Structures are given as C-alpha cells and as structure tokens.
Amino acid sequence: MGADAEVHLFDHERYRAEVVPVLVEVLRGGAVAGWVEEIFRRAAHFEEWGYDVLWPRMVASLRQRPVDLAAHAGWLGDDLRYLGDEAEPLLPRRLVGCVDGESCFFALHNGHREAFNSLHEGLMTTRCLGSSQFVGRTVSPDFYLPVLERLGVESTDPVRGLLKALGVRGAVVGYQWEISSGTLGWLTVAETRELAERLDKLDLPRFEPSFAAMAEQDRRRDWPATSLAFVRSVATIAASRDRGVLWGNDVDSTFWSNEGLGFHYEV
C-alpha cells in the first residue's frame, strides 16, 4: 500500500466560488444544487456502497441534523481548511475528530463524514485542479524537514508554515480514511507566490520552472532536495497563472470522472 504524492496547480478562487458554497449548503442541511443532484444520479452503482446511494443518504442525514458551522468557526475555516493544532504524526495520516464528540457530524466514526470528504474530493479534483508534479511516494511536506535543517532555515521562517499548511489544512475536510491518501492541504494564490519566492532563495537544485524541465531531472541524486525544488517550480508556475497549489496523495480526477463527474455541467 501507499500513495503517489503530487503537487497540483489549484484554482482556489473557483474552489471558493463553486465548490465551497455547495458543500456548506449541504452541511447546513439546505437544498442540493441541481448540477450536484445530477452527479448523484450519474454516480457508479455498487449496491448500498455506491455513491449514488451514499451521497443522497448523507444529505438526508444532514437535513435531519445540520451542522452548526458558527460553532466550528475556530476549528474550520471559511474554505473548509482545518484551523486547529497540527495533526501528529503527519504520516500515517489521521482525520481530526470534532471536540464535541460522537454527536457531531465531524466525529471520527461518522460514516457520512467519509461520504462528505469523498464528495469534496470529487468536486475539487474535477473542477479546480490543473497539471501536477510527482514529489514522492507516500510522503507529506514534513519529508522536507531534514532539507530545511540542512540549509539552516530558521524555525520561525514563514516557509515552514507554508509547507506545514500544505500538509494539514485537509485534516477535517480533505484526508481520506486510508492512512496515506487524500487532500493534505492547499495554499491561496498569495501564499503560493510567497512560497515560490521563499523557496527560490534556498540552495536547491536549479532548473527552468516548467513541467518539462522537472521531467528531465535525475531523481536519484539528493531526491528530497530535488523534490522540494519541484514544489518551488510548481508554485512558481501556479503564481504566474494566478493559481494556488494543492498537495494530494492519490488524488486523481480520472477516478471521479468514472463516478459521475466526467461530464460537462453548468453551475
């Protein structure tokens, strides 16, 4: 078992405008947008475990017991990022459970939460992700901590916080139940630009910031530093296109295209 870790170009503005409002409305027990209902209908059928069953069942449960998002304001951000303390250890990953216990939708053992995170990943990957770069096998951004130590990066340097955000913002809505997969975290456009600029100041392998150049690099030579240089390149490309970046382990739009999201739908 394991997962391919990739850093993706991420349309954070589209995510905020199209995906987050739909998911927030679902959590509040409100109406499901017509295009999302169409996704439910097109989802692959697998008896009671298919998303054509699990997603409507989750919606029905939330209509009976909606989530009080205001009560979670100090724990869940307005783009569904995790705001709490860092989840330890970074790998193997563990979803963070709500402090309110088993009565909350975000309790660790709530099966509907798994369906919700799957819907989040499906909508996000098919609507908001662009090209990606492989950065390691079953790794998270803490993979780079020894590199930062070797380069003398101070513990208070913002680059550490930006990399940390790429690993923990998905701890409530993002991580999947498998111990190494899911959306680990993401950055806004401004944060992505700052990450690119700060990584560019470090003594990392140098090459043109392009996907073609990354494909030509020798991964057998100081792979952790080369991988971090890949993060720098993806962040540089993303910033030039007014995009953010997202770290995903086995996050792939192909799977979700086969689950009913592979058609043109208007929001």
CB 227 within 8 A of CB 144: yes
Average pLDDT (256-266) is 56
- Say what the alpha-carbon torsion angle 160, 172, 185, 76 is, to the nearest 10 degrees: -70
Q: What is the pLDDT of residue 1?
A: 62
What is the full DSSP assignment across the chain?
---EEEEEEE-HHHIIIIIHHHHHHHHTT-PPPHHHHHHHHHSPPBTBTSHHHHHHHHHHHHHHS---GGGGTTTB-TTS-B-SSPPSSSSS--PPPPTTGGGSTT-TT-HHHHHHHHHHHHHHHHHHEEEEEEEEES--GGGGHHHHHHTT--TT-HHHHHHHHHHHTTTTTTB-SSTT-EEEEEE-HHHHHHHHHHHHTS------SSHHHHHTS-TTSSHHHHHHHHHHHHHHHHHHTT-EEEEEES--HHHHIIIII-S----
Q: What is the pLDDT of residue 258?
A: 63
Q: What is the pLDDT of residue 50?
A: 83
Q: What is the pLDDT of residue 74?
A: 87
Q: Is residue 223 scored above 70 in pLDDT?
A: yes
Average pLDDT (240-263) is 81
Average pLDDT (61-79) is 91
Q: What is the pLDDT of residue 191?
A: 98
* End-to-end CA, the chain: 37
CB 49 within 8 A of CB 42: no
pLDDT digits (tens, 9 = 90+) for 48-60: 778 889 999 999 9
Average pLDDT (114-120) is 92
Q: What is the pLDDT of residue 183?
A: 94
Q: Is residue 265 scored above 80 in pLDDT?
A: no
Q: Which two tokens stand for residue 67?
A: 């989530």
pLDDT digits (tens, 9 = 90+) for 17-28: 999 999 999 999
Q: What is the pLDDT of residue 253?
A: 76
pLDDT digits (tens, 9 = 90+) for 1-13: 678 999 999 999 9
Other Cβ atoms within 10 Å of 267 Cβ, number: 13
Q: What is the pLDDT of residue 226?
A: 97
Q: Is residue 46 scored above 80 in pLDDT?
A: no
Average pLDDT (211-225) is 92
CA angle in degrees (0–180, nearest 5) for 225-86-252:
60
Q: What is the pLDDT of residue 218?
A: 87
In which band, very low, low, confident or very high, does the pLDDT at 176 lie, cut at 50, 70 and 90?
A: confident
Q: Which two tokens stand for residue 212?
A: 């073609």
Share of the chain above pLDDT 70, in %: 91
Question: Looking only at Cα atoms, what is the longest distance across the chain?
Answer: 56
In which band, very low, low, confident or very high, does the pLDDT at 263 lie, cut at 50, 70 and 90?
A: very low
Q: What's the mean per-residue pLDDT of the chain? A: 89
Q: Which two tokens stand for residue 160?
A: 């550490």
Q: Is residue 199 scored above 90 in pLDDT?
A: yes
Share of the chain above pLDDT 90, in %: 65
Domain boundaries, the chain: 4-261
